């Protein structure tokens, strides 16, 4: 549906569509009706369970398509219509299995498929196309069964392949297939075959190959097989549809298996390919995973199905033994697909409920009435109409909101609207702000609130006539009537104490205890601050920043500095009364940098000298924050504290902490205490800070346990950031710290903010995750909010939603800009509502989902044992997938794993979450690290969680040096590493360069400046600056990666077979981890088992 | 010894002692009938040009309970090298150093003219003087500027090796570290929180952290024997630094909104100053100098809130028990004062404000520690500037006229006991056989601590005759009293001044005339006044007046000559003749009358009354009035309204004020400008004469008096009119409308009426 909507407005869609047509046409001809494909899928699945499916998919698609075609054609134009048509598609599927058909419809709704299809189809998908449509990675996990009994698996697999059962079913389906056949007959057959051959074969081939490589995972393999490779392919393809964007991933496959497939495909789908070969291939990849899996299955099942069998056959034998990692859904593939398919065209937000491109895709956004995905991303863009449906699906309804997100230079920041003295126009009842969804009636004299339906008078000064469509004539002149995001100038009513705020202030609070001095931190920091103060954030074209600065140093006592411009020398004021902190001076503490430059410089010169001989090792912490907060209070402004702290605050003072690090608690019921603050004092303090608009950024330089869990409470609740530099040494960490500090100081911040998320009737924001404080259940209070901070909001139904009107979100953020202006930033987003679960599954965003689930889990560890949290995650994931399988996927054997296209990466990502340090700590992970990561994730946006949980692994030496593009990523698994290459891994926090043991000497020379592998210093953190293309390229790449992240990533060079390699391997998240984290394959099997349990 | 008058004067000059009675009634009963107790005014450090200190230590009586010091009254056996203590009759061996003594070779302490002698103790460490400035920054810009200049100037007056420290306060309290280079450093305390000495020392880093610092500079341990060196530094080292610091002092930056008083944390500032010294230099001479420009408005010791609409307490409020903050504040300052006194430090209060500044509550800080109290309108007045400068005046030896940490010990012969002392001292609670159970003033002890004193500091010391009537003292018997004052001289030497006096006993029944003739009515008036003022601090005003009246009447009854019930027959001998008049003026004085005075003023006046010597005290009780006219040289005239004549210029000295009053005619002449005409140069001289005389007084007195130049009808003339005896008022007919004098518009009784009543009551057999 969305598609339809989107299609017309959005060119991108157009593209896909064409593809579709192409696809369908070519393949199914009919299928173009994106809807059709899905249905077929469903059908496929149903029938296929086995192999056949795959082919069938193709076929089935075809059929549906065939059936659809007509519709599709029609549909294409009217995407939504198409959905309806899906039904038809279903029907078509129906042929295969009516019942299933119906279910399928659900799947079809995959309409997503439609969406995706558009893209995906063009891609190779088509061949898989069908599968794509299904978007489900139907990995018949015969393997699953196998997984059940790994060892036995293989055989069972063979047997299990019960697939036989599946086969049986398949066979059962075969009839279907027969039907399919019919389909195919219509169109599919040929294509299907072709596809099958192409799709299936390649997979198979690959499978075998891989199998060989994978052989070990015999059990897995079986599963894979069970995956009903064929089916899977199809399904997987289906997956693609969902991920259509993802489909992009398929290309790689091409590369890999390509030749044959390609050939095959081309042969079959030349047109398609021509139009979208790359995509195609990608899809293949995506599909591959499945395919392979399937293949094995195929193998087994196929045997039954000669037609496919032929192709699958060979692979099958092999597959049964293993689950081919290449056959399971690949994040890399999905990302690539999406990039290729959706990266080129701007994302226009005019249409309700469109799923935006993945966060990993570079795309431009055109605001046409809905907020950019940079501001808001939802787990699903199609919300179930009823809470029952929502409960059934278990898909969390959440939005990840980044109200002050930074935009690429090409996109304009929100317009500022000034409604004059009366303030922004709002609904009288629910107080929602004027937005494009408000309905003007009675000739423009009144408007009906789109959130609460209250009818309000339009104030005279705002009156405007309506045109014949009922739209205000000035709609396009007013941002608040035509855009998704905009800002209002707030009136004095929106200000604290009914007074316009003063410009905010930054206070630098520097630990000058022995540790800080000895490590050189203080000297470094003071030196840096001198220049950094010129880069305080300023608003718009302001010549100088309005922000005032102040300085405090502390150890066991606090030292405030008077740096008033009229002084010849700074004055230091010591406050020893830490039990009852206060600010000793008013005038001269917070100053304009330019006016007081001489004094400040003198101060920063003297601080390291003054404390050079200090022996004071004890520090205080809470009083420091208290002091900063009091200073802001005294100055009657909001602001930010930059705390540079080294050690556990053990000095006698409020907020004194004791060392309670106890590794024995791990995996016990008391483990949660490690994440909880030691004392409630910090919460109280944070509350006061929030009331004052005092945001706290904490830079930690611990040599040992500092209790991050407690120290980060205040930053966390005030919207601040925590940076941690364990064992800080100037030589090693200078660059990282300086870079982080610069970025942190320079970034634009909104102060003293309150965020409120309003929704249209029927749903309600019920839960919030992020770095903020809430004193009631609706208002998110943020002492400070910068462009990197994200708030995840969960919604629940409290009434029925209406498909017609959809669901609306309005996020209003009231804040003080860095120039001291009080503003309201409004983001609006309209979502679709569905009565069919399939619509939900087709419009999901896995990355966002993972963002939500990770935050949910990370908060859960505060109150529940980690194991419970992990189990909850697994259960929820299983439920989501089982629901899909039950309600949306085409019928298939129970042994078959069918994943919704949009969520085919859910297992792999979720596994990454489960394996993360917080939920499954390794021996080398300190309590502080876990607490640190825990709080970091809490305010991460989708892009950050994505790469954080599934790191990017880039081969540096594979692509020609001349190529300017980023090398294509590879999956995070040790098997993907070749010992003749060098790889770069990043997860947003860390950056590794892994050097294979047999890398060419020339490469070593040009990159590291040493003559051999053995001479490379392990743990090197800086690449030598060498004047050769490779060195330049790699360093350039590192720089660009760092530029993408909000935190500076420290580089560590790791040599193969070196001690440090353990550290690196920790990030190869598809592998089994040392801490007991499951490998991707194992987890997928486990998930399949869970799903089957739920289904039975 | 021609007359008692000369005797008294001579004794005063030599010993700094004036007794109410110079012949003592020999029995307890008789003594009590004398009405005026046996007491003396002692000026322990009276400046004696002719008294070079001896450079050795005194010889003590060996009896542990006595330890009296060898003095001219002791009987000495030169051959046996023995001496007998004249207080306990213990026979003592002379120490080895005295082996050479004989009748002709006497040590100074045995010579009669050295009844007062001063010893210099060579032992023990000499600690430098310490001056800790505690400066209010909630001042007007002008005031602050003037104060800063005064303080900067004072640095040049301090002894170079004296230690100085600086604490400033407003809403916060800042203790300035003086030793640091480059960046000026201070420790800041919240002005609302009371801290214990321990906390203060911890927070100032005076306890532990000082260790590493010293280790860091092992080379200078001798130079800095004290850990507090960061806050208290020798003047010569940091005077530039401190001058700059003072120069950069800003007004308290915290905003004061309309209708509010600035928040002034005097209580905490003092507490920190006391705590700082307590932790670093206990029992070392130190002066905390508090400069404040208004009442404490927050924290412990708060006297009034910061709301201007709530005025500071008045006598009216206090009487109505409506001064809710007073008690608590007083308690705070008393606690501080007692701690300070225990440490041997003293607190000066320089309060310059147009309104009250809380002296009532803070008075004990100065009163108990021997510190000064100075009250002025502004720091930008010569009154403050000169007074402050005078603190650092030097004597003829070039030593500062200040001494610290004195202990005054009194020993009496067994017929006497010590009842108490009134003056700027605290009890050391040393009981002994010579301590009376009846207390007058601060009693129950034979030793007092006077933390800060100068050559004029005078204590009233009260005794009780305990000799029973039935144990007559042998003819020619003498009672003896020894005053031993150990103190830290401004040169940082420890010194001991010993004064030993003896007076004859006389049987009151047979030798009343002797006793009567030896009555020192001036001393008696001051001593009685001190008792009265002392009582007034704790009792209701009228009660004190009634007590004074009764004492006066009883005295008159005892020593007057009259026929019963015949007032006209009443006569007093010469030695008592002035006493009733003193009492009359005392009753009207601001020490006992609070009407028209703020509580602060009363405290201020009483403070000075309790420490000044006899002459000054008398001036305070009964101001001196000089009259200038063409008729002759200036002459003292009666303090009476009849002295206010049109063709006279009056110069009144009330100690606190110098008033020059031009009579009506003189004022008119001056207005007409006659003084500028060469032919009336004599008029010019006449006008100038009192000015010159006033200057003399102004130059000499501490604190500098308020100088008032007024004329007939001038508003400031009230200072004169309120002091003179209102012999002519609007309602006594015989004076009204007459030429002489000026009527005073008052309902107060005049001296004449007072005397009439006194006579009547004295001769009445009823009372």
H-run or E-run covering A507: strand A505-511
Cβ of A569 within 8 Å of Cβ of B184? The answer is yes
Closest chain B residue to the Cα of A653, Cα to Cα: B203
pLDDT digits (tens, 9 = 90+) for B310-359: 999 999 999 888 888 999 999 999 999 999 999 999 999 999 999 999 99
Cβ of B254 within 8 Å of Cβ of A586? The answer is yes
d(CA A100, CA A898): 13
Region B608-614: mean pLDDT is: 93
Share of chain B above pLDDT 70, in %: 95
Domain spans in chain A, listed from the N-terminal domain onward: 326-421+483-500+749-835, 504-746, 845-950, 951-1068
Cβ of B185 within 8 Å of Cβ of A569? The answer is no
d(CA A688, CA A780): 15
Region A471-495: mean pLDDT is: 92
Closest chain B residue to the Cα of A578, Cα to Cα: B203
Average pLDDT, chain B: 88
Residue A202 in tokens: 């390649």
The stretches of B204-351 forming alpha helices (DSSP H) are: 210-216, 235-248, 266-280, 315-319, 326-343
Chain B residues closer than 8 Å to A615 by CB: 209, 212
Task: State how far residue A587 is from chain B, nearest Cα, in angstroms.
Answer: 6
Q: Among A42-46, B48-52, B86-90, B462-466, which range has the highest average pLDDT?
A: B462-466
Chain B residues closer than 8 Å to A586 by CB: 253-255
Task: State how far residue B130 is from chain A, nearest Cα, in angstroms.
Answer: 23
Task: State how far residue B141 is from chain A, nearest Cα, in angstroms.
Answer: 16
Residue A375: per-residue pLDDT: 95
d(CA A773, CA A401): 16
Task: State how far residue B206 is from chain A, nearest Cα, in angstroms.
Answer: 12
> DSSP code of B394?
B
CA–centroid distance for B492 within its chain: 22
Residues 535-594 of A with CB under 8 A from B: 557, 559-560, 567-577, 580, 582, 584-588
Query: Is pLDDT of A88 > 50?
Result: no
Task: State how far residue A614 is from chain B, nearest Cα, in angstroms.
Answer: 9
Least Cα distance to A280 among A139, A132, A62 occurs for A132
Residues in chain B whose beta carbon is closer than 8 A to a beta carbon of chain A?
172, 174, 177, 180, 182-190, 193, 195, 199, 202-205, 209, 212, 216, 248, 250, 253-255
Closest chain B residue to the Cα of A581, Cα to Cα: B190
Task: State how far residue A582 is from chain B, nearest Cα, in angstroms.
Answer: 7
Closest chain B residue to the Cα of A587, Cα to Cα: B253
CATH of domain A951-1068: 3.40.20.10
Q: Does A804 touch chain B (CB under 8 A)?
A: no
Q: Could you tell me the pLDDT band of residue A582, with boundaries at 50, 70 and 90? A: confident
Q: B191, B171 in Cβ contact below 8 A?
A: yes
pLDDT digits (tens, 9 = 90+) for A1032-1087: 999 999 999 998 888 999 999 999 988 888 889 889 999 988 888 889 999 999 99
Give phi and psi for B260, each to the nearest 5: -125, 155
Residue A577: per-residue pLDDT: 86
The residue among B182, B199, B218, B252 with the most chain A CBs within 10 A of its CB, best to mutate, is B182
B621: number of CA atoms within 13 Å, CB side? 28
Closest residue to A575, CB basis, from B180, B184, B188 = B188
pLDDT digits (tens, 9 = 90+) for A242-297: 333 333 333 333 333 333 333 333 333 333 333 333 333 333 333 333 333 333 33
d(CA A1083, CA A1063): 22
Domain A845-950 is in which class?
mainly alpha
pLDDT digits (tens, 9 = 90+) for A544-576: 888 999 999 999 999 999 999 988 889 899 998
As a whole number of angstroms, the longest Cα–Cα distance in chain A is 95
Chain B residues closer than 8 Å to A588 by CB: 253
Region A605-621: mean pLDDT is: 91
Cβ of B255 within 8 Å of Cβ of A569? The answer is no
Q: B272, B197 in Cβ contact below 8 A?
A: no
The Cα-based distances of B4 to A876, B1, B13, B515 in angstroms read: 114, 7, 14, 11
d(CA A550, CA A600): 9
Task: State how far residue A626 is from chain B, nearest Cα, in angstroms.
Answer: 14
The Cα-based distances of A489 to A303, A414, A494, A820 in angstroms read: 70, 12, 10, 12
Q: B746, B723 in Cβ contact below 8 A?
A: no
Q: Could you tell me the pLDDT band of residue B732, with boundaries at 50, 70 and 90? A: low
Region B263-292: mean pLDDT is: 91
d(CA A132, CA A110): 10
Share of chain A above pLDDT 70, in %: 71
Q: Strand A397-401's sheet: what is its strand order? A: A376-378, A397-401, A791-797, A763-769
Around Cβ A579, how many Cβ atoms within 10 Å? 14
> DSSP code of A358?
P
Chain A residues closer than 8 Å to B183 by CB: 569-572, 602-603, 606, 610
Q: Going by DSSP bridges, is the β-strand pair B130-136/B163-169 parallel, antiparallel, or unpaired?
A: parallel
3-state secondary structure of B571: strand
Taking domain A326-421+483-500+749-835, whether its CATH number is 2.60.40.1670 is answered by: yes
pTM: 0.78
Around Cβ A1056, how many Cβ atoms within 10 Å? 16
CATH of domain A504-746: 3.40.50.410
Cβ of B203 within 8 Å of Cβ of A610? The answer is no
Least Cα distance to A96 among A170, A148, A29 occurs for A170
d(CA B432, CA A1044): 88
Q: A444, A472 in Cβ contact below 8 A?
A: yes
3-state secondary structure of A576: coil
d(CA A919, CA A916): 6
Closest chain B residue to the Cα of A585, Cα to Cα: B253
Of the listed ranges B178-182, B479-483, B506-510, the least confidently predicted one is B178-182
Who has greater pLDDT, B141 or A36?
A: B141
Query: Is pLDDT of A307 > 80?
Result: no
Residue B465, beta-bridge partner list: B416
Cβ of B188 within 8 Å of Cβ of A560? The answer is yes
Cβ of B205 within 8 Å of Cβ of A576? The answer is yes
> What residues have CB less than 8 Å from A984, skipping those under 6 apart?
A953, A954, A955, A956, A991, A992, A993, A994, A1034, A1037, A1038, A1041
Map out the domains of chain B with their CATH numbers. 4-56+113-122+402-510 (2.60.40.1670), 130-207+229-391 (3.40.50.410), 541-760 (3.40.20.10)
Task: State how far residue B207 is from chain A, nearest Cα, in angstroms.
Answer: 13
Around Cβ A1017, how many Cβ atoms within 10 Å? 10
d(CA A434, CA B752): 93
Query: Is pLDDT of B214 > 60?
Result: no
The Cα-based distances of B610 to B107, B370, B605, B614 in angstroms read: 36, 10, 9, 10
d(CA B225, CA B597): 48
Least Cα distance to A189 among A341, A313, A307 occurs for A307
Q: Going by DSSP bridges, is the β-strand pair B91-93/B82-84 parallel, antiparallel, or unpaired?
A: antiparallel
């Amino acid at each position: 549906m969305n598609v339809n909507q989107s299609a017309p407005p959005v060119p991108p869609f157009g593209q896909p569509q064409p593809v579709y047509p192409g696809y369908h046409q070519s393949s199914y001809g009919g299928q173009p009706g994106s809807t059709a494909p899905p249905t077929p899928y469903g059908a496929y699945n149903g029938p296929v369970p086995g192999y056949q499916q795959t082919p069938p998919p193709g076929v089935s698609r075809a059929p549906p398509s065939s059936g659809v075609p007509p519709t599709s054609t029609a549909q294409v134009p009217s995407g939504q219509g198409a959905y309806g048509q899906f039904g038809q598609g279903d029907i078509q599927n129906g042929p295969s299995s009516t019942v299933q058909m119906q279910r399928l419809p659900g799947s079809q709704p995959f309409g997503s498929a439609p969406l995706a299809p558009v893209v995906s189809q063009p891609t190779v998908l088509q061949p898989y196309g069908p599968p794509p449509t299904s978007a489900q990675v139907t990995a018949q996990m015969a393997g699953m069964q196998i997984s059940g009994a790994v060892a036995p698996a293989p055989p069972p697999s063979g047997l299990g392949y019960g697939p036989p059962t599946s086969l049986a079913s398949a066979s059962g389906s075969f009839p279907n297939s027969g039907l399919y056949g019919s389909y195919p007959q219509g169109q599919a057959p040929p294509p299907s075959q072709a596809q099958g051959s192409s799709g299936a074969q390649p997979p198979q081939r690959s499978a075998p190959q891989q199998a060989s490589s994978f052989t070990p995972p015999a059990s897995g393999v079986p599963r894979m097989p069970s995956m009903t490779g064929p089916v899977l392919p199809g399904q997987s393809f289906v997956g693609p549809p969902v991920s259509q964007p993802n489909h992009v991933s398929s290309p790689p496959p091409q590369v890999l298996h390509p030749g044959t497939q390609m050939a095959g495909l081309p042969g079959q789908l030349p047109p398609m390919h021509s139009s979208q070969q790359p995509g195609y291939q990608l899809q293949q990849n995506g599909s591959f995973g499945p395919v392979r899996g399937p293949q094995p299955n195929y193998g087994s099942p196929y045997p039954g199905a000669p037609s496919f069998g032929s192709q699958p056959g060979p692979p099958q034998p092999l597959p049964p033994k293993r689950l081919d990692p290449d056959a399971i859904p690949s994040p890399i593939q999905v990302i690539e697909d999406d990039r290729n398919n959706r990266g080129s065209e701007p994302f226009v937000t005019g249409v309700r409920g469109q799923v935006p491109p993945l966060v990993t895709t570079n795309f431009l956004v055109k605001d046409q009435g809905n907020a950019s995905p940079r501001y808001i991303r939802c787990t699903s863009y199609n919300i179930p109409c009823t809470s029952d449906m929502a409960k059934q699906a278990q898909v969390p309804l959440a939005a990840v909101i980044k109200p002050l997100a930074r935009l690429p230079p090409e996109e304009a920041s929100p317009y500022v609207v000034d409604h004059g003295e009366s303030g922004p126009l709002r609904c009288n009842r629910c107080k929602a702000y004027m937005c494009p969804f408000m309905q003007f009636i009675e000739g423009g004299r009144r408007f009906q609130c789109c959130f609460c339906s209250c009818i309000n008078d339009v104030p005279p000064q705002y009156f405007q006539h309506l045109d014949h469509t009922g739209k205000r004539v000035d709609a396009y002149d007013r941002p608040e009537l035509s855009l998704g995001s905009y800002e209002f100038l707030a009136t004095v009513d929106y200000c604290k104490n009914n007074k316009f705020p003063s410009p905010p202030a930054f206070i630098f609070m520097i630990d000058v205890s022995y540790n800080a001095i000895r490590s050189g931190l203080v000297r470094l920091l003071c030196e840096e601050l001198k220049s950094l103060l010129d880069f305080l954030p300023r608003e718009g074209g302001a010549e100088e920043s309005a922000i005032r600065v102040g300085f405090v140093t502390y150890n066991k006592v606090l030292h405030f500095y008077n740096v008033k411009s009229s002084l010849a020398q700074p004055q230091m004021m010591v406050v020893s009364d830490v039990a009852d902190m206060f600010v000793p001076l008013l005038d001269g503490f917070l100053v304009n940098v330019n006016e007081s430059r001489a004094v400040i410089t003198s101060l920063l010169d003297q601080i390291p000298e003054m404390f050079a001989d200090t022996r004071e090792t004890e520090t205080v912490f809470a009083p420091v924050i208290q002091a900063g907060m009091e200073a802001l209070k005294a100055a009657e402004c909001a602001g930010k504290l930059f705390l540079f702290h080294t050690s556990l605050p053990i000095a006698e003072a409020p907020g004194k902490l004791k060392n309670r690090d106890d590794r024995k608690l791990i995996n016990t019921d008391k483990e949660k205490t490690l994440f909880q603050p030691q004392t409630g004092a910090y919460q109280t303090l944070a509350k006061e800070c929030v009331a004052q608009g005092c945001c706290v950024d904490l830079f930690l330089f611990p040599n040992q346990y500092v209790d991050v869990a407690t120290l980060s409470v205040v930053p966390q609740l005030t919207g601040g950031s925590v940076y941690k530099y364990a064992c800080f040494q100037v030589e090693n960490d200078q660059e990282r710290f300086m870079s982080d500090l610069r970025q942190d100081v320079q970034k634009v911040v909104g102060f003293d903010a309150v965020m409120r998320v309003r929704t249209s009737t029927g749903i309600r924001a019920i839960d919030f995750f992020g770095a903020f404080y809430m004193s009631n259940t609706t208002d998110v209070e943020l002492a400070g909010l910068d462009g990197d901070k994200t708030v995840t909001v969960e919604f629940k139904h409290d009434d029925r939603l209406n498909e017609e009107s959809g669901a609306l979100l309005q996020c209003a953020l009231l804040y003080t800009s860095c120039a001291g202006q009080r503003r309201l930033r409004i983001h609006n987003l309209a979502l679709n509502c569905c009565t069919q679960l399939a619509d939900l599954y087709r419009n999901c965003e896995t990355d966002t989902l993972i963002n939500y689930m990770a935050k949910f889990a990370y908060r859960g560890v505060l109150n529940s044992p980690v194991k419970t949290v992990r189990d909850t995650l697994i259960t929820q994931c299983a439920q989501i997938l089982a629901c899909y399988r039950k309600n949306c996927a085409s019928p298939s054997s129970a042994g078959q794993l069918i994943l919704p296209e949009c969520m085919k990466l859910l297992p792999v990502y979720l596994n990454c979450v489960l394996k993360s340090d917080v939920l499954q700590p390794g021996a080398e992970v300190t309590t502080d690290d876990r607490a640190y990561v825990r709080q970091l994730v809490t305010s991460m946006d989708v892009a950050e969680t994505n790469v954080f949980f599934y790191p990017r692994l880039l081969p540096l030496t594979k692509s020609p040096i001349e190529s300017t593009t980023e090398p294509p990523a590879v999956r995070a698994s040790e098997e993907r590493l070749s010992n003749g290459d060098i790889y770069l891994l990043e997860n947003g926090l860390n950056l590794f360069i892994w050097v294979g043991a047999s890398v060419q000497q020339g490469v070593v020379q040009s990159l590291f400046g040493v003559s051999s592998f053995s001479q490379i210093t392990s743990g090197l953190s800086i690449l030598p600056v060498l004047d050769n293309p490779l060195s330049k390229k790699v360093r350039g790449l590192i720089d660009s990666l760092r530029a993408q992240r909000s935190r500076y990533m420290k580089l560590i060079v790791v040599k193969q077979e070196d001690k440090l390699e353990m550290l690196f391997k920790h990030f190869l998240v598809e592998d089994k981890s040392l801490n007991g984290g499951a490998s991707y394959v194992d987890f997928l099997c486990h998930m399949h088992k869970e799903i089957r349990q739920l289904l039975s | 010894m021609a007359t008692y008058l000369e005797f008294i004067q001579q004794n005063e000059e030599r010993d700094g002692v004036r007794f109410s009675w110079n012949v003592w009634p020999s029995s307890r009963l008789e003594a009590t009938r004398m009405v005026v107790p046996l007491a003396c005014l002692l000026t322990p450090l009276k400046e004696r040009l002719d008294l070079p200190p001896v450079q050795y230590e005194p010889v003590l009586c060996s009896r542990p309970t006595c330890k009296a010091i060898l003095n001219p009254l002791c009987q000495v056996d030169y051959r046996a090298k023995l001496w007998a203590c004249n207080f306990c009759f213990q026979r003592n061996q002379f120490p080895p150093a005295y082996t050479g003594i004989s009748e002709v070779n006497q040590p100074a302490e045995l010579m009669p003219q050295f009844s007062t002698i001063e010893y210099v103790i060579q032992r023990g460490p000499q600690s430098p003087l310490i001056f800790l400035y505690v400066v209010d920054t909630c001042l007007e810009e002008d005031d602050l500027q003037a104060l800063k200049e005064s303080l900067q100037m004072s640095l040049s007056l301090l002894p170079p090796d004296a230690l100085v420290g600086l604490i400033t306060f407003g809403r916060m309290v800042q203790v300035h570290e003086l030793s640091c280079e480059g960046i000026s450093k201070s420790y800041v305390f919240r002005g609302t929180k009371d801290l214990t000495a321990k906390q203060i020392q911890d927070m100032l880093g005076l306890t532990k952290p000082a260790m590493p610092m010293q280790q860091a500079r092992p080379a200078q341990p001798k130079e800095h024997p004290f850990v507090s060196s960061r806050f208290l530094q020798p003047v010569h080292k940091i005077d530039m630094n401190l001058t700059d610091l003072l120069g950069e002092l800003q007004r308290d930056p915290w905003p004061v909104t309309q209708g509010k008083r600035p928040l002034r944390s005097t209580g905490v500032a003092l507490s920190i100053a006391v705590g700082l010294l307590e932790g670093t230099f206990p029992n070392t001479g130190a002066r905390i100098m508090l400069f404040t420009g208004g009442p404490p408005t927050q924290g412990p010791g708060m006297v009034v809130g910061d709301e201007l609409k709530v005025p500071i307490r008045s006598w009216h409020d206090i009487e109505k028990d409506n001064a809710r903050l007073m008690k608590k504040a007083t308690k705070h300052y008393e606690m501080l004062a007692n701690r300070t006194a225990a440490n041997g430090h003293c607190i000066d209060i320089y309060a310059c404000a147009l309104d009250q500044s809380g002296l009532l509550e803070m008075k004990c800080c100065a009163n108990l520690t021997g510190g000064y109290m100075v009250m002025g309108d502004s720091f930008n007045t010569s009154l403050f500037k000169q007074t402050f400068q005078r603190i650092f005046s030097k004597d003829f030896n070039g030593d500062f006229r200040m001494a610290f940490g004195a202990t005054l010990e009194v020993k009496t012969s067994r017929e006497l006991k010590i009842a108490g002392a009134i003056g700027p001292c605290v009890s050391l609670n040393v009981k002994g056989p010579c301590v009376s159970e009846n207390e007058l003033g601060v009693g129950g002890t034979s030793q007092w601590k006077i933390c800060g004193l100068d050559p004029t500091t005078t204590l009233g010391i009260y005794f009780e005759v305990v000799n029973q009537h039935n144990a007559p003292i042998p003819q020619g018997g003498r009672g003896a009293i020894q005053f031993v004052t150990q103190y830290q001289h401004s040169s940082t030497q420890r010194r001991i001044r010993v004064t030993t006096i003896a007076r004859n006993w006389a049987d009151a029944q047979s030798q009343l005339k002797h006793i009567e003739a030896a009555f020192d009515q001036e001393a008696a008036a001051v001593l009685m006044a001190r008792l009265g003022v002392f009582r007034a601090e704790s009792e209701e005003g009228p009660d004190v007046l009634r007590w004074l009246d009764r004492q006066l009447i009883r005295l008159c009854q005892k020593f007057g000559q009259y026929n019963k019930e015949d007032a006209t027959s009443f006569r007093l001998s010469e030695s008592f003749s002035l006493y009733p008049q003193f009492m009359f003026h005392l009753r009207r004085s601001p020490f006992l009358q609070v009407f028209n005075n703020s509580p602060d003023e009363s405290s201020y006046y009483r403070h000075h009354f309790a420490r000044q010597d006899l002459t000054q005290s008398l001036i305070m009780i009964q101001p001196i009035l000089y009259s200038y006219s063409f008729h002759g040289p200036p002459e003292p005239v009666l303090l009476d309204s009849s002295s206010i004549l049109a063709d006279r210029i009056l110069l009144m000295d009330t100690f606190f004020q110098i008033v020059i009053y031009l009579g009506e005619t003189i004022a008119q002449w001056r207005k007409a400008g006659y003084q500028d005409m060469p032919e009336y140069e004599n008029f010019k001289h006449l006008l100038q004469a009192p000015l010159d005389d006033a200057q003399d007084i102004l130059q000499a007195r501490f604190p500098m008096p308020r100088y008032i130049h007024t004329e007939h009808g001038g508003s400031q003339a009230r200072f004169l009119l309120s002091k003179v005896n209102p012999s002519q008022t609007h309602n006594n007919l015989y004076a009204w409308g007459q030429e002489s004098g000026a009527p005073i518009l008052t309902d107060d009784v005049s001296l004449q009426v007072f005397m009439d009543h006194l006579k009547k009551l004295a001769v009445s057999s009823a009372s």
